[in-house]
Amino acid sequence: MEPFTTLTSIAVPLDRSNVDTDAIIPKQFLRKIERTGFGKHLFHEWRYLDFEGTKENPEFILNKEPYRSKAKILLARDNFGCGSSREHAPWALADFGFRCIIAPSFADIFYSNCVKNGILLVRLKPEEVDEIFAVAAFGTTGLVAVDLDKQCVGAMGKKYTFEIDPFNKECLLKGMDQIGWTLQYAGLIDAFEQKNIVEKPWLN
């Protein structure tokens, strides 16, 4: 996983609340367990006018420049990522290129799944998100900067601070999921197991 330190990008203003995981990646695309290849199906039913995904909806934000190819930050409204717990949702977002999502609130399981896949989720106050939406509307000149170490978001001269669990922060900064974090201590784990075999052989 790529470490997350700082990120400066234009932001996609997805002005919708209660975006569920079926909207993020519809169920018909959940047929494989590899993490790649899902980006083309992200928001499929909103991005395309046909089932096959060959005719784009010109009104959808991800089909408009500069958002379709240059944005690494997604803006949304309340309760983003609600619905089922499918991990394919963060896979699709990451495969499309998003590294950070900013919204007033997120579904808990979705939040956890995103952290495990290297996506930073930033909770800000609704009025702060409103201000960043106004910045995002400027397109290529509306840059948003995110600093995970300092836990702040900057846009048009304003700064907004956010909270994050220290363990999640460490994993993102190091580019590790929970398994990778545990493997840092593989030597200590092996030493403990070997000591346990000698001292308590009846347990093995």
Kindly state the tokens that stand for 48. Answer: 């395309």
Query: What domains does the chain contain, in order, with CATH numbers?
Result: 6-176 (3.20.19.10)
SS3 204: coil
The phi-psi region of residue 97 (left if phi > 0; otherwise alpha if psi is between -120 and 50; otherwise beta) is left
Kindly state the tokens that stand for 119. Answer: 């996506």
- Structural contact between residues 35 and 117, judged by C-beta atoms closer than 8 angstroms: yes
pLDDT in tens, the chain (204 residues): 889 999 999 999 999 999 999 999 999 988 877 788 899 999 999 999 998 888 999 999 999 999 988 899 999 999 999 998 889 999 999 999 999 999 999 999 999 999 999 999 999 999 999 999 999 999 889 999 999 999 999 999 999 999 999 999 999 999 987 766 666 656 666 666 766 666 677 666
Task: For residue 58, count CB atoms less than 10 angstroms from its CB and return exposed for 0-12, middle for 13-18, buried for 19 or more.
Answer: exposed
- Tell me how far the alpha carbon of residue 134 is from its chain's centroid: 21
**Residue type for position 16:** R
d(CA 182, CA 176): 9
Q: State the residue for tokens 């994993």.
A: 171
Kindly state the tokens that stand for 121. Answer: 């989720």
78-110 burial, b at 16+ Cβ within 10 Å, e below that, comes to ebbbbbbebbbbbbbbbbbebbbbbbbbbbebb
